[in-house]
Chains A and B, each alone.
Chain A
């Protein structure tokens, strides 16, 4: 088996052995559940659109909270030294930790599958956008995990890692809502940078290669940035 799978498993074990996992998942479910269902019945529509609209904003602070410890903790405790003296490459470490962040995000999303299932009993649910929404959520989770991982690699302090990660994720989420601040010439470019813009396309059930490329590039940039930071530490 490839080395990164061992790191992935260890991270998951570490994550689920401590209360952080359960606290983060619980908070996520309470916040999404409350905001979604508090207005759900007013709309009188069997759709998850509002849930998916909320998701980027909530992810922007929940995912950095998951990923903040991935590197920062190792750096502050010194276990990074042990990791580096084992026969693993930077690639193994980064991929393993990134996938750990992604799996945790997926674990967090899993209980929310109860929403579409229960809603499908209430009315005619269009499954297209739901499937698109979950696919988009995984992509978004991946992009934010990569950013969070990068934030975690630049500091020994988990709180700093969280704040930096959340700040970047928030910016990407909100930037396409601030378009009126930007000159017309770069409007399209700024809009293209917005994570929320791409996510809302996918969550409508439209899977466009531009949106896929956006998320994959953000993941790549995040992970490559992390790689450069680790290289710098030598």
Chain B
């Protein structure tokens, strides 16, 4: 569907995007993650045809962006970062203008606007001017704007920015729903959001792709080691250390905390390809310790993200 090859963008001498290549099949929800200034927005802007890349190619279906810019613009719906609309226009007038410019025939226009206003929860503000709306409502106007022509590809730049938690859940629902049939690309720096919404995640840092994979795979790949935390009573750290260390696959044991009333918290680091929870439990049972807490730390994208982006920043 979308084929990006060696995409590079220079702002004067500053390289914002450095040789990004991506293949995005139809119907995928792709999350573009990265710290601030990583080149997310620049990449998205090039995909929408707002400005041309310094080098590299973008092709959507069989259309090359250099030669078929207008055609590609018709296929893409775009929500920019700060939803900058004409503040003086009424919401209805603005959507009507977008409908016209997107070439929706006059007899379908009204139904389409009605449908989108219901979908995005705008029905009660259609008669207000855009300048009066709150940030969240503005974002919804942007979403309606982006979806006007029922585009095959939806590009959203930080769609949930500035929304309250309820609205975020709603917007995510909308994105998932659209993603069933359409290709959606969105950028975010909120990891849980990407985790909850995307089929595939691409992490970029300093203009380069540092990780690219399906959300699940990426999460698994991250955990080369698994951590188990437990809290015990009636046990000393030395004893625990001696008893559990011999279990195959346990690499280290750290003391996290020990309270005066004899509660001990430890963290066991093991290789993630082995699951030693049963053995650990049996050992504890054999001793006279009281097990108060026992849980495996879930590997989140957050850890991967931090590892990947921090490492590279350190190298440079």
Interface residues of A (CB under 8 A from B): 1, 3, 6-7, 9-10, 13-14, 17-18, 77-79, 81-82, 84-89, 233-234
Docked-complex contact B74 and A87, CB < 8 angstroms: yes
7 other contacts beyond A10-B97, A84-B49, A234-B51, with CB at 8 A cut-off?
A3-B101, A10-B89, A17-B90, A18-B88, A77-B87, A87-B101, A87-B103
Docked-complex contact A13 and B89, CB < 8 angstroms: yes
Docked-complex contact A89 and B52, CB < 8 angstroms: no
Question: Which B residues lie within 8 Å of A234 (CB)?
Answer: 51-52
B167-199 contacts to A, CB under 8 A, are none
* Interface residue from A3, A17, A82 paired with B80 (Cβ < 8 Å): A82
Docked-complex contact A79 and B102, CB < 8 angstroms: no
Question: Which B residues lie within 8 Å of A17 (CB)?
Answer: 88-90, 93, 129
Chain A, Cβ-Cβ closest to B106? A1
Docked-complex contact B76 and A88, CB < 8 angstroms: no
Question: Which A residues lie within 8 Å of B102 (CB)?
Answer: 86-87
Docked-complex contact A88 and B50, CB < 8 angstroms: no
Docked-complex contact A82 and B103, CB < 8 angstroms: no
A3–B87 CA distance with the chains assembled, in angstroms: 22
Whole-angstrom distance between the Cβ of A19 and the nearest chain B Cβ: 10
Question: Which A residues lie within 8 Å of B48 (CB)?
Answer: 85
Chain A, Cβ-Cβ closest to B70? A87
A17–B86 CA distance with the chains assembled, in angstroms: 11
Give me 24 A-to-B residue pairs in the complex whose CB atoms sit less than 8 angstroms apart, sorted by A's number: A6-B97, A6-B101, A10-B89, A10-B97, A13-B97, A14-B89, A17-B90, A17-B129, A18-B88, A77-B84, A78-B84, A79-B86, A81-B45, A81-B80, A82-B78, A82-B85, A84-B49, A85-B49, A85-B73, A87-B70, A87-B73, A87-B101, A88-B101, A233-B51
Cβ of B40 under 8 Å from chain A: no
Interface-central residue, A3, A87, A88, by most chain B CB under 10 Å: A87
Docked-complex contact B84 and A79, CB < 8 angstroms: yes
Cβ of B145 under 8 Å from chain A: yes
* Interface residue from A1, A78, A89, A233 paired with B82 (Cβ < 8 Å): A78
B60-76 contacts to A, CB under 8 A, are 70, 73-74, 76
Cβ of B24 under 8 Å from chain A: no
A86–B103 CA distance with the chains assembled, in angstroms: 10
Chain A, Cβ-Cβ closest to B51? A234
Whole-angstrom distance between the Cβ of A10 and the nearest chain B Cβ: 5
Size band of the interface chain B makes with A: 20 to 34
Docked-complex contact B93 and A13, CB < 8 angstroms: yes
Question: Which B residues lie within 8 Å of A87 (CB)?
Answer: 70, 73-74, 101-103
Question: Which B residues lie within 8 Å of A10 (CB)?
Answer: 86, 89, 97
Cβ of B100 under 8 Å from chain A: yes
Docked-complex contact B50 and A9, CB < 8 angstroms: no
B76-117 contacts to A, CB under 8 A, are 76, 78, 80, 82, 84-90, 93, 97-98, 100-103
Chain A, Cβ-Cβ closest to B98? A86
Chain B, Cβ-Cβ closest to A83? B101
Docked-complex contact B101 and A81, CB < 8 angstroms: no
Whole-angstrom distance between the Cβ of B182 and the nearest chain A Cβ: 16
Whole-angstrom distance between the Cβ of A76 and the nearest chain B Cβ: 9
Whole-angstrom distance between the Cβ of B62 and the nearest chain A Cβ: 18
Docked-complex contact B86 and A7, CB < 8 angstroms: no
* Interface residue from B70, B78, B84, B129 paired with A89 (Cβ < 8 Å): B70
Whole-angstrom distance between the Cβ of A74 and the nearest chain B Cβ: 8
Whole-angstrom distance between the Cβ of A192 and the nearest chain B Cβ: 39
A84–B49 CA distance with the chains assembled, in angstroms: 8
Contacts A10-B89, A17-B88, A77-B87; is A86 near B101 (CB within 8 Å)?
Answer: yes
Whole-angstrom distance between the Cβ of B78 and the nearest chain A Cβ: 4
A90–B52 CA distance with the chains assembled, in angstroms: 15
Docked-complex contact A82 and B101, CB < 8 angstroms: no
Chain B, Cβ-Cβ closest to A13? B93
Question: Which B residues lie within 8 Å of A86 (CB)?
Answer: 73, 98, 101-102
What 7 A-B pairs have minimum CB-CB distances, sorted nearest first?
A: A78-B84, A6-B100, A87-B73, A85-B48, A85-B78, A87-B74, A79-B84
Chain A, Cβ-Cβ closest to B52? A234
Chain B, Cβ-Cβ closest to A92? B101
A79–B52 CA distance with the chains assembled, in angstroms: 18
Chain B, Cβ-Cβ closest to A17? B88
Chain B, Cβ-Cβ closest to A7? B101
Chain A, Cβ-Cβ closest to B85? A79
A87–B97 CA distance with the chains assembled, in angstroms: 13
Docked-complex contact A82 and B84, CB < 8 angstroms: yes
Interface-central residue, A3, A7, A86, by most chain B CB under 10 Å: A86
A78–B48 CA distance with the chains assembled, in angstroms: 15
Chain B, Cβ-Cβ closest to A15? B88
A86–B145 CA distance with the chains assembled, in angstroms: 10
Whole-angstrom distance between the Cβ of A156 and the nearest chain B Cβ: 12
Interface string of B212-223 (1 = CB under 8 A from A): 000000000000
Question: Which A residues lie within 8 Å of B51 (CB)?
Answer: 233-234
A195–B51 CA distance with the chains assembled, in angstroms: 37
A80–B108 CA distance with the chains assembled, in angstroms: 27
